[in-house]
Amino acid sequence: MLQFGALMIPYEQARQIVIEQAAAHRGGRPTVALPLQEALGYVLAQEIRTDREYPPFDRSTRDGYAVHAAEAAAGSTLRCVGEIRAGDSVGEALAAGDCVQIMTGAAVPAGADAVVMIEFTRREGEEVTFERGTQPGQNIVARGSEARAGQLALQAGFRLGFAELAVAGQVGAATVNCYRKPSVAILSTGDEVVSITETPGPFHIRNSNSVSLGAQVRLAGGSPVVLGHTLDRVEDLSAKIEEGLRHDILVLSGGVSMGKYDLVESVLKGLGAAFYFDAVAIRPGKPAVFGRCGNTWVFGLPGNPVSTMVTFQLLVVPAIDVLSGSEARPLPLLEATLATPIKEKAVLTHFVPARLEWQGRIPRVTLLTWQGSGDISALTRANCFVVVPADRLDIAAREKVSVLPRFDVL
């Protein structure tokens, strides 16, 4: 049997293993046809092509006058022969010596090759005088210049955010074929854990991990199935775990440390699980476990709430990404100036709750005082974690550090 910590690896490598394994066993994911309005956060299982040219006509980008550029030199005057509003159909070409008032988004008439902004004109009756010259093409987006008809607009594998939804809507894709969200079972373990609707005894704690994990699964693009909690007993654990193994991913909290009643790993093994790692060189979160049991990916996350949250963001999010049909999002690490010095002890990569603020454009990060990985109230003030590398446990104020934003806040 695997010794605890025998497979301890850096978190970057752990993520890589999760991504590679999930991609290798992704298989043909089931799909669902969704009305566009309900498809936010889903991943496209089809490509979407343009139905016509974009823009479909030469479009004015300004309110002003459509002109022959050569006739609208600074100081020249042209006769205004009418107006074109957005949505109007235009048939007649613009005659020499004429101009026509035009609105943003309206079609530029044949012959006209520029639009002069209304701000640079003076009008008396039908006479329009131009205060500045113009260039051919100015303030016009040419027909077909954004996209040709039948061109690829969105690829399969794209996650549908607001811009992608808008493009689908623009080309008339009112229903879109998407991958079903991976189903993620959530199971908390621990003799001390009671449901959030119960009144805990003096030495019991409410199951907040199932709440945070459910929210994190949803935010990451998975479909959470909360299985509640189980005692640290082999029979109870086995029964609940078997329930969880009906899903794409099973995330357990608690029971993966070295205590006498930390049984998750051995129960999973008994059910046939194989592990890719069973410790990650991070704090909080070192005992995190990743394996496969039957057709289900299994994550055993430590039960301390902040450890659970950090390991979820680092390790489970990429699995949900891949099983959603898209690429794993990179960790959005950024650099910030440290406001308070850091002193950490253990030789592990530390993720320290912190607050990122911007002074002008310079990001500045301040560590929060916290009582360790049980202190979730500290996290409500944190919008990020400072990533302290194992070889730099002492960092002075004003040095640059690497920061991992909390994936629901920044």
Binding residues for ligand AMP, rule: CB under 6 A, are 188, 190, 193, 205, 207-209, 253-255, 257, 259, 302-305, 374
Q: Which does 302 bind (CB under 5 to 8 A by kind): ligand AMP, Mg ion, none?
A: ligand AMP
In the bound state with Mg ion, the residue whose beta carbon lies nearer, of 254 and 285, is 254
Give dist(CA 351, CA 376) in Å, integer: 14
Neighbour-count burial for 231-258, b at 16+ CB within 10 Å, e otherwise: bbeeebbbebbebbbebbbbbbbbbbbe
Q: Compute how many residues bind Mg ion; rule: CB under 5 A.
A: 4
Q: How far apart are the first and last CA of the chain?
A: 41
In the bound complex, what is the minimum distance in angstroms from residue 250's beta carbon to ligand AMP? 15
**Contacting residues for 55 by C-beta, under 8 A, at least 6 apart:** 141, 142, 143, 144, 145, 146
Q: Which of residues 371-400 bind Mg ion (CB under 5 A)?
A: none
Q: Interacting stretch for Mg ion, rule CB under 5 A, among 144-152, 184-192, 357-365, 379-387?
A: 184-192
The H or E element that residue 351 is part of is: strand 349-359
Tokens of 357: 């603020």
- Three-state DSSP at 143 gives coil
Considering only residues 229-268, where is the footprint of Mg ion by CB under 5 A?
Answer: 254-255
The C-alpha atoms of residue 294 and residue 185 are separated, in whole angstroms, by 15
Minimum distance of ligand AMP from residue 303's CB (angstroms): 3
- Which residue is nearest to ligand AMP, using beta carbons? 303
Q: Which is nearer to Mg ion, 191 or 375 (CB)?
A: 191
* Shortest Å distance, C-beta 272 to ligand AMP: 23
Could you tell me which residues are beta bridge partners of residue 278? none
Q: How far is the CB of 12 from Mg ion (least distance, A)?
A: 27
Judged by DSSP in three states, 178 sits in strand
Residues 187-206 that bind Mg ion (CB under 5 A): 190
Closer CB to ligand AMP, residue 204 or residue 364?
204
Please report how close the Cβ of residue 353 comes to Mg ion at its closest, in angstroms.
22
For ligand AMP, the closer of residues 169 and 372 by Cβ is 372
Phi, then psi, of 176 in degrees rounded to 5: -130, 145
Q: Does 287 bind Mg ion (CB under 5 A)?
A: no
- Compute the CA torsion angle 111, 114, 120, 123 (nearest 10 deg): 10
Least CB distance to Mg ion at residue 301 (A): 11
Chain residues binding Mg ion by CB under 5 A are: 190, 254-255, 303
